Structure 1
Amino acid sequence: MTSVKEFRVDEPATADALGRGRFIFTDAYSVFDWGQMPDAIPRKGASLCAMGAFNFELLEDEGVPTHYRGVVDPGEAGAEAGSEPGASDGNEPEAVPLADATAPPTEMAIDLTQVPDLPYEGPEAGYDYDAFHAAGRDNYLVPLEVVFRNRVPVGSSLRRRADPADFGLDADSGPKADSGVTADEWPDEPVDLPEPIVEFSTKYEEQDRYLTREEADRIAGAADVDALESLAREVNRVVTERAEAAGFAHEDGKIECLYADGELRVADVVGTFDENRFSYGGRGISKEVVRQWYRANDPEWVEAVKEAKAAVAGRDIDDWRELCERDPDPLPAAVVEAVSEMYAAGTNAYTGRQWFDVPDIEAALDAVDDL
């Protein structure tokens, strides 16, 4: 089980073959790598499931290999919701195309690969990726997140790690010469990149860290880092084109991939408001809304998280949460409702189908602006 998705195994993966299973999308959410937060956001799970399925089907139409097999129609899910995470009752429900779902789905059928343990050997040795790949052999989830960026919004980690000049964004000579961007200072508004960029970060370490290409190539194992980049760029193209057709701007996002029998497939979930950042009419629509609320309204917890992540360096443990001295405050009811309507209205607009009875996206974003 992840912090926001539960997991059902219908047929386990082996060293030689993919298995079958399902994601169960819950209304839980996570920010700053904390894990499950105090509140649930109604309709969020169904929103992400519908939007993710929609994007997987777009990718399949474009010939991009994925682990997606369809969704489970809520009318057919029956008592499955009451089973334990990871368990299956032996009756694998039928997977159908998203268009055949009679209501917003919360279950997504997928092919499964192996996810070996990643041992932590202490501050000197770090994580043992050799052990990970020895266990995964030629059928494993690549332990990387492949990040693509079209724009550098406010809140992007890229602003802390690089200067505008690193991407040709120089007020004197770059393509944004009239935008007020300087070579070494990001402005207080989103900045479009001249070309999409791709980065690699860790997937299973307790703190995500960005990697050099050489580090990413080593951690990827048998998977080819150039092929991972190409796959990410193709996913970015497909999602960006759909976003533009629906009135959105696609700012950044990520993919995860499985490697099986020499082939890479897009895994996890693609192109949702949790995995990606979008904007609509210049206003952000993603999980970043919640991150910014915590920065403004619970800064003590945000700072405690930052300090705990720094304090774990050099210790024999890798779970920084054990060192965090504060827990996050719950969201006020008005924030929960506004964010819920943002997810639902955004999914309606992106998919072109009225899955949820909520105000339109403009009204939903107005409510978020008022928080």
Structure 2
Amino acid sequence: MGSVKDLKVLKKPNEDQEGIGRFKFSDRYSIFDWGEMPDLIPHKGEAIALLGAYFFEKLEEMGFKTHYIGLVEDGKAKKLSQLEKPSSEMEIKLLNVLEPPLHQDGYDYSAYQNLKGNFLIPLELIYRNYIPEGSSVFGRLKRGEIELKDLGLDELPSPDEKLEKPVLDVSTKLEVTDRYLKWDEARAISGLSAEEIEELKDALKVVNEVITSEFSKIGIVNEDGKIEVGYNSQRELILVDVMGTLDECRFTFNGLPVSKEITRIHYRGSSWHAATEEAKEKNRTQWKNICALNPESLPPHLKDLISKLYCSCTNEITGQEWFKDLPPLKEIISDIGGELDGK
């Protein structure tokens, strides 16, 4: 079980062949690496599964390989066009996941150095079309952890300025707390060649372009997002997990958030958020165990609006009314803005 989705293994992968599994997208949500938060967002799981399936099918039409098989209805995996009602269950091909052991001197990635194929690449690939005020990017630059050239930039952009070309960033995927990396370090720990790293970057660029284009059709800006990748048994790059959803991307409409950033804004500045930051400063790997506070529940009206937002975006992007009797998307976003202003 993950913080927001569960995995059922139907057939385990082995060294030579992918397995088969099913993601069950739940109504749970997670922010600030906390894991499961106290509330469930109604219909969120179905909305995420449908939107994720939409982008997998679109990218497959463009020639990308993915781990997506279909959404499950009546026990069978079906494509979107075959579904009669929303589904929160996705059938996928499973890759081997090698979690790096943690030693006193850090994580040990030696197992990745001689792998042939059929494994999850232990990286999270991030694109940034905008860099908002307060972004980790500015902090990393200020501390000297990275330089502008590491991000493909010639000069420091202003906060919330649309970038001339997207920044491609990378972090760890399988550590307790995600850790940003330089691309050379990402290549070293994952055992990939320089050419394979460039292939990852190229895939990230195209996925960004597709998501950006689709959301721009409904007036929504794709500010940043992430994808996960792996190699199949033939060591062909495949797109995995899910992408293009309101959990994987940060979208805005006239400056208002259209993603799970809404929940981050609600909690940011709270006593609980301050306690998580304090705990992380004390212990980067065991911080949750020593955090002094637990998060409180969302206000009921805000939770209802977030549910409607997930459902409405899925309807709008897929062009199909999976969820009925919703107010216009722009009205939902406006109401959320009012809730956040008045919190």
With the length of structure 1 as denominator, give the TM-score of the two structures. 0.83
1:126 is matched with 106
* Contact 2:46–2:86 under 8 Å retained in 1: yes
Structure 1 residue 159, shift from structure 2 partner: 3.5
Q: Secondary structure at the match of 1:199?
A: strand
Distance in 2, matches of 1:69 and 1:250, equals 26
1:20 aligns with 2:2: no
Going from structure 1 to structure 2, the CA distance change for 1:255 and 1:294 (only over 3 Å counts) comes to: same
Going from structure 1 to structure 2, the CA distance change for 1:42 and 1:348 (only over 3 Å counts) comes to: same
Distance in 1, matches of 2:125 and 2:177, equals 16
Structure 1 residue 222, shift from structure 2 partner: 3.8
2:276 is matched with 305
Distance in 2, matches of 1:5 and 1:132, equals 26
| Identity, % of aligned positions | 39
Q: Secondary structure at the match of 1:257?
A: strand
Amino acid of the residue matched to residue 306 of structure 1?
E
Q: Identify the match of residue 233 of structure 1 among 195, 201, 205.
A: 205
Amino acid of the residue matched to residue 2 of structure 2?
T
Q: Secondary structure at the match of 1:370?
A: helix
2:141 is matched with 162
2:6 is matched with 6
1:328 aligns with 2:299: no
* Contact 1:206–1:320 under 8 Å retained in 2: no
1:243 aligns with 2:211: no
Structure 1 residue 366, shift from structure 2 partner: 1.7
1:205 aligns with 2:175: yes
Distance in 2, matches of 1:132 and 1:216, equals 12
Deviations 1:304-339 (A, max 9, x none): 1111112115xxxx2321121111111121121111
Query: Which blocks of at least 5 consecutive residues in structure 2 are unaligned?
Result: none
Deviations 1:51-104 (A, max 9, x none): 11111111011111111111112xx1xxxxxxxxxxxxxxxx321111221111
1:360 is matched with 328
Amino acid of the residue matched to residue 106 of structure 2?
G
Structure 1 residue 220, shift from structure 2 partner: 1.8
2:286 is matched with 319
Q: Identify the match of residue 218 of structure 1 among 146, 166, 188.
A: 188
1:100 aligns with 2:82: yes
Structure 1 residue 295, shift from structure 2 partner: 1.0
Amino acid of the residue matched to residue 26 of structure 1?
S
Amino acid of the residue matched to residue 274 of structure 2?
E
Structure 1 residue 133, shift from structure 2 partner: 5.6
Question: Within 5 Å, which residues of 2 pair with 1:136-151?
Answer: 138-151=117-130
Distance in 2, matches of 1:269 and 1:206, equals 20
With the length of structure 2 as denominator, give the TM-score of the two structures. 0.90
* Contact 2:116–2:235 under 8 Å retained in 1: no
Going from structure 1 to structure 2, the CA distance change for 1:363 and 1:154 (only over 3 Å counts) comes to: farther
* Contact 2:112–2:191 under 8 Å retained in 1: no
* Contact 2:172–2:178 under 8 Å retained in 1: yes
Q: Secondary structure at the match of 2:295?
A: coil
Query: Which blocks of at least 5 consecutive residues in structure 1 are unaligned?
Result: 77-92, 175-180
Distance in 2, matches of 1:138 and 1:351, equals 33
1:343 is matched with 310
* Contact 1:240–1:250 under 8 Å retained in 2: yes
Amino acid of the residue matched to residue 15 of structure 2?
A
* Contact 1:276–1:286 under 8 Å retained in 2: yes
2:256 is matched with 283
1:69 is matched with 69
Structure 1 residue 156, shift from structure 2 partner: 3.4
Distance in 1, matches of 2:295 and 2:58, equals 37
Distance in 1, matches of 2:35 and 2:113, equals 26
Distance in 1, matches of 2:69 and 2:138, equals 37
Structure 1 residue 236, shift from structure 2 partner: 0.9
1:86 is matched with none
Deviations 1:339-365 (A, max 9, x none): 111111122122221111221211111
* Contact 2:230–2:237 under 8 Å retained in 1: yes
Amino acid of the residue matched to residue 94 of structure 2?
L
